[in-house]
Amino acid sequence: MRWGVGSRVSLFCTILLVAGSARPAFSQNAPDSDEENSKHIFFIIPNFRTTATLAEYKPIAPREKFKIAAQDTFDRGTFALAALFAGQSQLSNSDPSFGQGVKGYAHYYVTSYAGFAIGNYMTEGVFPTLLHQDPRYFRRGKGKFVTRLGYSAGQIFFTHGDNGRTQVNFSELLGNSTAVAVSQAYYPDNRTVSDAVSGLGVQLGVDMVANILKEFAPDITHKFHHRSDQ
pLDDT in tens, 145-187: 999 999 999 999 999 999 989 999 999 999 999 999 998 888 8
pLDDT tens profile 11-61: 555 544 444 444 433 333 333 334 444 788 877 888 888 887 777 789 999
∠ CA 109-38-79, nearest 5°, is 5
Q: Is residue 200 part of a domain?
A: yes
**Nearest-angstrom CA–CA distance, 4 and 1:** 6
The secondary element (H helix, E strand) that includes residue 137 is strand 137-138
What own/partner pairs with CB < 8 Å and gap ≥ 24 does 204-208 have? 204/156, 204/172, 204/173, 204/176, 205/5, 205/8, 205/9, 205/12, 206/8, 206/9, 206/12, 207/123, 207/156, 207/172, 207/176, 208/152, 208/153, 208/156
Residues facing 159 on adjacent strands: 167
Q: Is residue 3 part of a domain?
A: no
Provide the residue type at 198 as one letter: S
**Nearest-angstrom CA–CA distance, 195 and 199:** 6
Which residue range forms the structural domain that includes residue 118?
Answer: 58-229
- 3-state SS class at 218: helix
**Nearest-angstrom CA–CA distance, 21 and 49:** 24
- Domain total in the chain: 1
Q: Is residue 159 part of a domain?
A: yes
Residues 64, 129: contact at Cβ < 8 Å?
A: no
What phi and psi values does residue 40 have, to the nearest 5 degrees?
A: -140, 145
* pLDDT score for 220: 81
Q: Is residue 52 part of a domain?
A: no
Could you tell me how far CA 223 lies from the centroid of its own chain? 23
* pLDDT score for 21: 42
pLDDT tens profile 125-136: 999 999 999 999
Average pLDDT of every residue of the chain: 82
Q: Is residue 203 part of a domain?
A: yes
Q: Is residue 18 part of a domain?
A: no
* pLDDT score for 225: 60
Q: Is residue 37 part of a domain?
A: no
Overall average pLDDT of the 81-100 stretch: 90
Q: Is residue 70 part of a domain?
A: yes
